[in-house]
Structures are given as C-alpha cells and as structure tokens.
Amino acid sequence: MELTLFSSSFCDPCIQTRSVLAEVERLVPNATVRVVDVASNIDESEASGIRSTPTVVVKSEDGTEVFRAEGVPSLAQVLVAAAKAI
C-alpha cells in the first residue's frame, strides 16, 4: 500500500504528519510512504485534487484510494486506513 503525503516546505503541520507516517511505516511492513512537494509537483497535486497541505492519501495495492485527510491525521486514523488498504 502507498501512503502519499502532499506537503510543502513551509508547512509546520507537514512535519507532524511526517512523524505520524513514519510511525505507520514502522508498524505496517508493506506500507510505503511517498512525499510529494506541491510546489515542485503542481501537475500531480492538481490532478490529485489537493487543496491544502498537509494532505495524506492512502491507496491500496491496486491503486484504489481508501483514505484522504487534510491536516494532521492521528496515528489511529492512518492505521485504520492502512487496514482498509490491505
């Protein structure tokens, strides 16, 4: 499963979100975290419907989106999303 963080360099909540996702990656063996800088990847961000940072998108292995959160998600929220993605 892929957990994508749409982030920006000047975003303090993005730092908190990175910590949450790092913990999920540690706890869930098949989780892969990918960070997308919205300023550097405008086309991908727009295509993904990103309106604010941080935004976390969790997709199952077949690419189906199972979770989206704007703002800092809790560890529990992301773990539930990871379970849905499996």
Confidence of residue 10 (pLDDT cuts 50, 70, 90): confident
Q: Are 44 and 56 in contact (CB under 8 A)?
A: no
15-41 pLDDT, tens digit each? 999 999 999 999 998 899 999 999 999
The DSSP bridge pattern shows strands 32-37 and 2-7 to be parallel
Which residue ranges form the domains of the chain, and what is each CATH number? 2-85 (3.40.30.10)
Distance, CA of 48 to CA of 9 (rounded, Å): 19
pLDDT > 90 in the chain, percent: 91
Residue 50 confidence class, pLDDT cut points 50, 70, 90 = very high
Predicted confidence at residue 28, as pLDDT, reads 95
